[in-house]
Amino acid sequence: MLKNTFILALCLFTSITTFSQSFWFGPKGAVSFNIQNWNGFERDPYLSFNGDIFIETYNEYSRSSLYSQLGFHTRGSSTRVNFFNGGSANQSFQFDNLVLEIGAKQKLTSKTNSGPYYLVAVRGEYTLGTNLGEYVRFNSAFYPIEDFVRKFNYGITVGGGWEFEFSELIGGLIEFTVNPDLSNQYEQQAIPNIINPFNNQTVTLRERKVRNLSFEIKFGMRFMRKVEYID
């Protein structure tokens, strides 16, 4: 399913530029508010930055459009850890993902280049790297390790925003999206005979599954490649 999502995204990205008479394109990005579900328990949120480049179909007679975008997003979560010496630290778990997204937009007014809209999309993500190597020094399976990171993931995106028209060929946007994953970012089977670093007792570390949920706000610029045919 994920492989098909990537192929479909690439095909759409190519077909828009090849066959569309006119289209919008540009950058967008800002801040992500990330949450992870660890075996049914929510960790503390983690803030990160996101950035995308997008391309979108344009038809002056329609309020609907299709779009495709490629971007870099850091997913993750954090937790507060208390140590034996009475100290504590906030530890974060970060997954740097390359994200391909394809979807449809629907404007809520008849204005061509401005006004509110909503969107629905599917995503495919590839994990480029993590910060889990920072916790190898603790020599404990209580911390997640690279071996169980799922490189490919997929999910959906829903949201909306507002487009602004600066001129016929230039505009801006502000957008808010909710991005739940449908697959697990991390999957680890149960591991027996693990020493608990907090009480030194031997335990069985139960199966661990981690799933991402991100709330994103984005600001962007829109540029039109307009094609006009002259008789």
Helix H or strand E encompassing 8: helix 2-19
- Position 153 pLDDT exceeds 70: yes
* 202-213 tens-digit pLDDT: 777 788 899 999
Kindly report which listed range (11-25, 125-139, 142-156) carries the lowest average pLDDT score.
Answer: 11-25
What mean pLDDT do residues 142-170 have? 93
Q: State the pLDDT at residue 145.
A: 85
User: Which whole-number Å values give the CA distances from 108 to 27, 61, 121, 231, in the listed order?
Assistant: 23, 14, 17, 34
- Position 63 pLDDT exceeds 80: yes
| DSSP conformation class of 207 | P
- Position 228 pLDDT exceeds 60: yes
82 pLDDT band, cuts 50/70/90, is low
In whole angstroms, give the CA distance from residue 73 to residue 212: 12
Kindly report which listed range (45-54, 114-123, 136-145, 161-170) carries the lowest average pLDDT score.
Answer: 136-145
Q: State the pLDDT at residue 84.
A: 55
In whole angstroms, give the CA distance from residue 71 to residue 49: 11
Whether 92 and 78 have beta carbons less than 8 Å apart is answered as yes
Domain boundaries 2-225, corresponding CATH code:
2.40.160.20
Give the Cβ contact number of residue 52 at 10 Å: 20
Backbone angles phi, psi at 136, to 5 degrees: -60, -30
